[in-house]
Structure 1
Amino acid sequence: MVGDAISHAVLPGIVIAFLLSGSRETLPMLLGAGATGLLATFLIEYFHRRANLQTDAAIGVTFTFLFAIGIILISVFAGKVDLDQDCVLYGEIAYVPIDLWVTANGTILGPRPVYILAAVLLIVVLFIKLGYKELKLTSFDPAFASALGISTALWHYLLMAAVSLTTVSSFESVGAILVIAFLIGPPATAYLLTHELKHMLAITVVLGVFISFAGYWMAYWLNASIAGCMAVITGVCFAAAFGYQRARNMNKARMSEGLPPAGQAAG
């Protein structure tokens, strides 16, 4: 849910970026939002670790505080400017094909969000590849990681920075609904199917691709919201995995008691 908190907490960064640049162009808006997103993740973890707050309480305190600062900055310095999250961050995936990157000489290079998110994807993949061992140890066994001399705080903040970068860079092109749905849905579904981390990462990627295609064609067939349909497919996948896991656990319990699996007659 850190991504959901970031979607509100980035407002002061957007306002400050506008005040410094005097423009609502995408680059300064993203830079301002990204900086505030990193600040939000740092504050959440700081309050959770240093003030012993529950994670949900730390998230609530942080995003309401930063969001309120953003509202005050707008009312004082930018009251007559159409400047809010809806106009600079809450995008729509259907508009991606028409958001083109045009060079100074008029050459069209294709959709601009594709280049931005491809660069973010490369950064995140390299980060996971280079720091896989440290990320795994600090996430699942921080005591053992500390005993090996690995800085758990450093790697945790790096992970939260990657989450913040991915979240902010995705908001403008695909919208908040899809960002939250994909941050939570595919990995939660994968967790129901396997407890092996590498398998979980692979299943998450495959699910993300499947949900994207299935949700798009569902939206095309129903003439409905693309983001909404993708989020619905995410929920359907999670429900199917949950049902499969329940059936598998029930069969294991029956077999441990010497009973045949459900649906199979006793011999």
Structure 2
Amino acid sequence: MSPGLEIQLICAVTAAACALVGAFLVLRRAALLSDAISHAVLPGIAIAFFVTGDLASPFLLVAAAITGVVTVALIEALTRTRLVKADAAIGLVFPALFSIGVILISLLASDVHLDADAVLLGDPAFAWIERFTVGGQDLGPLALWWMGGIFAICLVFVTVFYKELKLSTFDAALAAALGFAPVALHYALMALVSVVAVGAFDVVGSVLVVALMIAPPAAAWLLTDRMDVLLVLSVAFGIASAIGGYWMARGLDASIAGAMAGASGVVFILAFAFAPERGLVAQALRRRRQKATFAERMLLVHLLHHERTPEAERECRVSHLEDHLRWDHARALLAVRTAEREDAITRAGDRLMLTDSGRTRAQRAMVE
């Protein structure tokens, strides 16, 4: 397998894991926690490294998970005091913990691979170099095995606790009443987010972890209201961002991590603009339809009011609508065309006349 393909696989699995757990943060409107956790687990990683002396030790994941839970607990404790809001609590806790981690690394581990730049930015281009070997046989990149295992844990967790996660995400009070222990589930999820964050450090860095945890699920949320579909779309968008970012980086001779972040942003922007129900284009078209419908109703009521009156010859003309209803020419034409399309009026030159259907609709509009 070529290094390029291995890099793509590593990045795709990493993005899939980030997007899967990130979807629950987005659904819980706790997206800022991804930023907090991805930075605040650094002191846990640093302390575990000082104890074990091994960057590949699984105790780093355990320490990161514990630190992530501590981070969430501190944020929630500050929030419960009601002296600061949730976003302010996040802004107080995670910079403090992250700075402690940076200080520990700069003072005690300045001569090892664990440095602040690597944690922040990562370097996917070199993720394939460290190999996983058993009995002298090369089984592929170690990062792929790590992230594959973490992704598998995420899948098992979501599959086993899907019902509980779904209920506690949308109605924690009901989940507690039914005995689902939403608080314990919340902290288990935060621990899993911490594990995913630290597992992705060497591959993509904490900055890109945030992008991959938030952008794909946010894009998916614009496209569906079903949680199961949202999870699938989140993972698919994460993988697409990773692979698309890799090829974008190759084409531009740019940073792979930066290109992946850019690709995830492009995915979100496309969904933000073109989502069928919530996208900007759909909203603009809906507003245009509403504007046309309202103008059509006003036109029908106006024609009904003047129908069979001495003023009808003058009032029921397209040219007179602009003066009487204070419409510009474009709005007058929009109302007329909409009414014609709905078979509510007939038009003879400049003269407008109601059809039976249009008369009924005008009468209904006046009652409403």
Is TM-score (shorter-chain normalized) higher than 0.5?
yes
Q: Which residue of 2 is the match for residue 178 of structure 1? A: 208
Equivalent AA in structure 1 for residue 127 of structure 2: V
Partner Cα separation in structure 2 for residue 162 and residue 98 of structure 1: 26
Report the secondary structure of 1:110's partner residue.
strand
Task: Return the offset for 1:8.
Answer: 2.9
Report the secondary structure of 2:179's partner residue.
coil
Identity of aligned residues (%): 41
Query: Residues 249 and 256 of structure 2 are in contact (CA less than 8 Å); yes or no, is this contact kept in structure 1?
Result: yes
From 111, 116, 122, the counterpart of 2:146: 116
RMSD across aligned C-alpha pairs, in angstroms? 2.7
Partner Cα separation in structure 1 for residue 268 and residue 230 of structure 2: 14
Q: Deviations over 1:78-134 (max 9, x none)?
A: 27655543356753111122121234x432221001111111111111111111111
Partner Cα separation in structure 1 for residue 141 and residue 110 of structure 2: 31
- Residue 148 (str. 1) matches residue 182 (str. 2): no
- Which structure 1 residue ranges, 5 or more long, are not aligned? none
Q: Are residues 46 and 129 of structure 1, via their aligned partners in 2, closer, same or farther at CA, if it must alter by over 3 Å?
A: farther
Equivalent AA in structure 2 for residue 19 of structure 1: F
From 280, 283, 286, the counterpart of 1:252: 286
In terms of Rg, which structure is larger?
2
Q: Which residue of 1 is the match for residue 26 of structure 2? A: none
Alignment of 1:227-266 (within 5 A): 227-244=257-274, 245-256=279-290, 259=293, 266=338
From 46, 54, 57, the counterpart of 1:15: 46
Moved more, 248-257 or 171-180: 248-257
Partner Cα separation in structure 2 for residue 30 and residue 182 of structure 1: 19
> Could you state the TM-score of these two structures normalised by the residue count of structure 1?
0.85
Equivalent AA in structure 1 for residue 85 of structure 2: Q
Task: Return the offset for 1:179.
Answer: 0.9
Query: Residues 11 and 85 of structure 1 are in contact (CA less than 8 Å); yes or no, is this contact kept in structure 2?
Result: no
Aligned length: 260
Task: Return the offset for 1:73.
Answer: 4.6
Task: Return the offset for 1:29.
Answer: 4.2
- Residue 130 (str. 1) matches residue 164 (str. 2): no
Query: Residues 177 and 228 of structure 1 are in contact (CA less than 8 Å); yes or no, is this contact kept in structure 2?
Result: no
Task: Return the offset for 1:204.
Answer: 1.0
Q: Which residue of 2 is the match for residue 214 of structure 1? A: 244
Partner Cα separation in structure 2 for residue 234 and residue 80 of structure 1: 32
Query: Residues 119 and 205 of structure 2 are in contact (CA less than 8 Å); yes or no, is this contact kept in structure 1?
Result: no
- Which structure 2 residue ranges, 5 or more long, are not aligned? 1-31, 297-333, 342-368
Partner Cα separation in structure 2 for residue 197 and residue 136 of structure 1: 8
- Residue 189 (str. 1) matches residue 219 (str. 2): yes
Q: Are residues 163 and 18 of structure 1, via their aligned partners in 2, closer, same or farther at CA, if it must alter by over 3 Å?
A: closer
Equivalent AA in structure 1 for residue 41 of structure 2: V
Moved more, 245-254 or 156-165: 245-254
Query: Residues 164 and 180 of structure 2 are in contact (CA less than 8 Å); yes or no, is this contact kept in structure 1?
Result: yes
